[in-house]
Amino acid sequence: MRTDTPQTIFRKDYTPPSYLVDTVELGFDLDPARTIVASRLTLRRNPAATTRGIELHGEDIELVALRLNGKLLGKRDYTLANNLLTIRSAPDDVVLEIETLCAPDKNTTLSGLYVSNGNFFTQCEAEGFRRITFFPDRPDVMAKFTVMLRADKARYPVLLSNGNLLEEGDLDDGRHYALWEDPFKKPSYLFALVAAQLVCQEETFRLADGRDALLQVWVEDGNLDKTDYAMQSLKHSIRWDEEKYGLELDLDRFMIVATSDFNMGAMENKGLNIFNTKFVLANPRVATDIDFQGIEAVVAHEYFHNWTGNRVTCRDWFQLSLKEGLTVFRDQEFTADMIGTATGRAVTRIDQVRTLRQAQFPEDAGPMAHPVRPDSFVEINNFYTVTVYEKGAEVVRMYQTLFGVDGFRKGMDLYFARHDEQAVECDDFRRAMADANNRELGQFERWYSQAGTPVLRFEGRWDEAAQTYTLTLFQSCPATPGQPEKLPFHIPVAVGLLDAAGADMALVVDGQQRGTTAVLELTEAEQTFVFTGVTGQPVASVLRDFSAPVILQGGYTDADLLHLFSHDSDPVNRWEAGQRLAMERLLKLTGEAGANDDAAASLNLDETFIEALRKILVDETLDPAFREQCLTLPSESMVAEQLECVDPLAVHIARQFVRADLGTRLRNELLAQYEANATPGPYSPDAASAGKRALKNLALAYLNAAPDAASVALAQRQFDEADNMTDRAAALSALVAARVPQAADALAVFYDEFQNEALVVDKWFAMQALSPTTDLAAVRALMTHPAFTLRNPNRARSLVAMFCVNNPVQFHAPDGSGYAFWAEQVIALDALNPQVASRLARAMDRWRRYAPALQWQMREALQKVAGQVKLSNDVREIVGKALA
Ligand code: PHE
Ligand code: ZN
């Protein structure tokens, strides 16, 4: 916690480390109040260095002793200021022995070494290792680690660290030890230890090269009935990486450990992944389909980091997307392959597009907009963003779109051939892709350096006499903080042409046969492509499969969209046409609702739109999962994103009206789908069953958006009878949203039944927090519930962040009470855990877009936080940028 002006760090200021570390030996005497860390480092001067002194980072730790080549150093031999220990002059080869103290039980930040439920865990990315011992804590310093753990045996029977277990045994006084060695060089951010009372599910698994690896999933006692799915996901991930990329597990042992106190989803520490329980624990009784999907994706993500992140790592934190964008892309492809079917793939792609629109586009248009490879930051923890992760994944996907799956694989192979066991830059990845495919990708670099979402427009003209279709594409990109002007991007635009019957035309572009989808490469601000042999007026399907992370603006008439929604062979664009039809209507209704106090009575939805949805809803040739996506409306925040001046209440009224109107006018069809998509028999999380449940529960939600007694009874029956959490939670949400008296009883029953399942209690809080029926007073009441605490990030997020981010109509209450609450909670959280506080702080990013009466109250709340004398760099950066 610092009170002075935080310092900005620039990418251009990178200098190589003055010393390299070859080996690290760490000894831990673990004690919650007073842990002793002894470190022995062998260092050697970096021939590439431009600076001379040894520089070690250290934060919130006490230096006990420091020896250089055996000699005890005194206060005159080094300086220690601003969390940096500098030894100004030292020989070329150095052995440093460092003894430090820390207090894990006082560490509420969950960065460094901390205690959770009485167990020890570490979290070192990005800069947590310096909270454990003094070290050149930067990712371009890679060393071999040996770790000795000592702790009380009864209290901490399990002692884990990275790599392989060399030795374990008993010590005096009831203590024991374990010695671990990681055979690979790694940066400090990948270090981990666990000392705990845990149990594990384990299995030996035969790798492609015939070696056997030991796989373990460690959890608290009582949770072994919830580890199967994580284990299965791990095995699938290992297999997939072998088959898809020829990448094998390089260790004899791979461990996953779950903790309930964790800032993020999970962490890819070498051989010892530490996970938020949310992404490990699942069985049908406590976890929903979405939870199962999340576990599969996150287990895969962390496993894939073993190559993309660990074996090849980042030179500096500005290159974060090098590992994160690539690894997200890999987990996305894994998820798609696990489903296997073409529509299954499209359904996962639609989920990705939704995430981008819901979270990344707003980030890219707001005060925190930054390039995929940022140029500067105050606090690196603020840059674990949807831009670095999800837009980064889109940038990686574009290589595959340009070069095909085989070309992409060639680029990956070259990347590993060149850079294994190195710390490199995003540019190195781009160069490997370019060189492996003999392509010049200079302009493509702008995807890494320019922030903001490009806007794509198109104009098409069919010439009957010439039988040509001329497609002109235009691109532009809005200014973002620090980047007033943008240069054109290299954009792959996948295009198809539909004939009057809705069939794909065979494409000939510039004289070349291009199948039925052509990937056009747009590199100029404006460019024209000529399709020949076009015998009738086509409807263009532009940006198929969402081939680039851009905003496609205009270009379509309602009739075009209806045609695409009925016929497009590309499921993503088919869905997209429906979303555009819905968005146009939501925007019009929002305008009407805002202009008229008695709006709800006069709103109305055209029969054409209802008919289009009806046709999709009952089309048995389409997967239920896809139909569910087509019937799901853009969220309130997506609608808000389209408006220059947001009135959250009007948006809410409009969207609620559409939901209720669909519930009324499609009642019979919804009821029929509700029945038809029952999933009898034992629960299975597979995509087909999950898709059926999704459609069934969407039907239930729409029916209860205009609740009559029968619909409420349906929800109540499902709540009472369902044997799985997906259906129970959906039924409970429907009851809560329907504002019926049964909701309170059901909430009580639910809590009673699951009060010992922390992750379900989170759901219980979240469900209430995001219901438009829950006002701030109700949130405050929930905060006094004995199960509520700000100290556990999952719990804090389930109530406070859910309300501030996902309950717009209540959060933006006209009296500004939501904003005052936000300020109060950001400040309270900041004192405990700056990373969690800082995420919550971002709820105000888009304050300038709101109606003036809300805007000034939002600014006041931001100023209140910014005016705090004691504030972390994390929160100070966010509110500072919001107000700038
Ligand atoms: N590197 C982790 C991941 O993406 C995320 C993470 C970042 C976790 C920082 C903890 C702290 O898989
Ligand atoms: Zn990651």
Rounded mean pLDDT, 436-445 = 98
CA-309 nearest atom, ligand 1: 1
Ligand 1 atom index nearest CA of 128: 11
Q: Tell me, what DSSP letter sits at residue 596?
A: -
How much is the pTM?
0.98
Residue 24 phi, psi (nearest 5): -130, 125
CB contact set of 73 (below 8 Å; sequence gap of 6+):
66, 67, 87
Compute the distance from residue 507 Cα to the ligand 2 centre, in Å: 39
Closest ligand 1 atom to 262 CA: 10
Distances, alpha carbon 638 to alpha carbons 544, 663, 733, 806, in Å: 20, 21, 21, 12
Candidate of 124, 125, 874 to mutate for ligand 1, largest count of ligand atoms within 8 Å of Cβ: 125
Distance 129 CA to ligand 2 centre (A): 18
Q: Say how many Å lie between the CA of residue 406 and the centre of ligand 2.
A: 24
| Residues paired with residue 206 on neighbouring β-strands, in sequence order | 212
Centre of ligand 1 from the C-alpha of residue 793, in Å: 15
Pick from 764, 683, 761, 689: which is nearest to 724 by CA?
683
Q: How far apart are CA 845 and CA 363, in angstroms?
A: 8
Tell me the CA–centroid distance for residue 130 and ligand 1, in Å: 17
| Minimum mean pLDDT range among 2-6, 127-131, 306-310 | 2-6
**What is the per-residue DSSP string for 423-460?**
EE-HHHHHHHHHHHTT---TGGGHHHH--S--EEEEEE
Q: Distance between CA atoms of 687 and 351, rounded to whole angstroms?
A: 13
Q: How confident is the model at residue 76 (pLDDT cuts 50, 70, 90)?
A: very high
φ, ψ dihedrals at 250, nearest 5°: -100, 10
Nearest CA to ligand 1 atom 3: 267
Positions annotated as catalytic residues are 302
Which is the closest atom of ligand 1 to the Cα of 305?
12
Q: Residue 599: its pLDDT value, please?
A: 62
Q: Which of 127, 264, 327, 838 to mutate to test the pocket of ligand 1 (most atoms within 8 A of CB)?
A: 264
- In percent, how much of the chain has pLDDT > 90? 98
Strand locations in 373-431, DSSP E?
A: 376-377, 423-424
pLDDT of residue 167: 98
Using a 6 Å CB cutoff, which residues line ligand 1? 123, 125-126, 263-264, 266-268, 301-302, 324, 384
Question: What does the pLDDT read at residue 598?
Answer: 72
User: Tokens standing for 332?
Assistant: 């996305």
Tokens of 260: 């309930």
Atom 11 of ligand 1 has which residue's CA nearest to it? 125
Residue 372 CB: number of other CB atoms within 10 A? 27
Q: Which residue has its alpha carbon closest to ligand 1 atom 1?
A: 267
In this structure, which residue's CA is closest to atom 5 in ligand 1?
Answer: 267
Residues 639-675 have pLDDT tens digits of: 999 999 999 999 999 999 999 999 999 999 999 999 9
Atom of ligand 1 at shortest range from CA of 324 = 4
DSSP string, 502-544: SPBPPPEETTEE-TTSEEEEE-SSEEEEEEE---S--EEEESG
Ligand index nearest the alpha carbon of residue 324? 2
CB atoms under 10 Å from CB of 188, counted, come to 25
Task: Say how far apart CA 462 and CA 498 lie, in whole Å.
Answer: 13
How far apart CA 761 and CA 794 sit, in angstroms, is 10
Nearest CA to ligand 1 atom 9: 125
Closest residue by Cα to atom 2, ligand 1, is 267
pLDDT in tens, 91-127: 999 999 999 999 999 999 999 999 999 999 999 999 9
Q: What's the distance, Cα to Cα, between the start and end of the chain in Å? A: 22
Q: What is the pLDDT of residues 571-617, one digit of tens each?
A: 999 999 999 999 999 999 999 999 977 766 789 999 999 999 999 99
Q: Residue 2 pLDDT > 60, yes or no?
A: no
Q: How many CA atoms lie within 13 A of 696 on its CB side?
A: 23
- Inform me whether the pLDDT recorded for 3 exceeds 50: no
Q: From the CA of 379, which ligand is nearest? A: 1
What's the rounded mean pLDDT across residues 695-722?
97
What average pLDDT does the segment 311-325 reach?
99
Residue 304 CA to ligand 2 center (angstroms) comes to 9
- 204: CA distance to ligand 1 center in Å? 27
- Cα distances (angstroms) measured from residue 550 to each of 447, 455, 581: 11, 6, 19
**How far is the C-alpha of 514 from the C-alpha of 535, rounded, in Å?**
16
Question: Which residues have a Cβ under 8 Å from the Cβ of 317 and sit 6 or more positions away?
Answer: 126, 139, 377, 380, 383
Could you tell me which of 60, 129, 110 has the C-alpha nearest to residue 790?
110
